[in-house]
Amino acid sequence: MMTVVTHVSLKEGTEPEWDSLMLDRMSAARKQPGWVGGQLLRSPNGRVIIGTWQSRADWEKWHHDPEFTETRRQLDEMADGPTDPGWHEVVAEVRKGRSAPKGRSTVKSKS
């Protein structure tokens, strides 16, 4: 699995509309092959998007979808500068009620 972490600075006053569009886009991503999950975080400088995919290729296919490209145009208009995506290979994922990927030792959460 791969996780992409993207930092986005937003133009002042655009945050509610940007959040709404991004949540719509994340909901649409749920239907895409390879989508595992994601989070939208508020930071002092804007937003952080965390998306986990089975592979980077799955993410790239989604980025060529017409629905994605239209939302991207709208979101980019509200951004205050370029985005800063960074890729990370998932070593382990620990969540309540979920175990580690096959082939790795299982880590369980007690919370």
pLDDT score at 101: 54
Domain of residue 38: give its range.
2-89
The CATH number of residue 34's host domain is 3.30.70.100
Q: pLDDT for 41-96, tens place per residue?
A: 999 889 999 999 999 999 999 888 888 888 989 999 999 998 878 999 999 888 88
Q: Identify the pLDDT of residue 98.
A: 59
Residue 23 lies in a domain: yes
pTM for the whole structure: 0.80
Please choose, from the candidates 78, 82, 108, 83, the residue with its C-alpha nearest in 3D space to the C-alpha of residue 95.
108
Q: If 0-12 CB within 10 Å is exposed, 13-18 middle and 19+ buried, where does residue 5 land?
A: middle
Q: Considering the domain boundaries, does residue 94 fall inside one? A: no
Q: What average pLDDT does the segment 3-27 reach?
A: 95
* Number of structural domains in the chain: 1
Predicted pLDDT of residue 75: 94
14 found inside a domain = yes
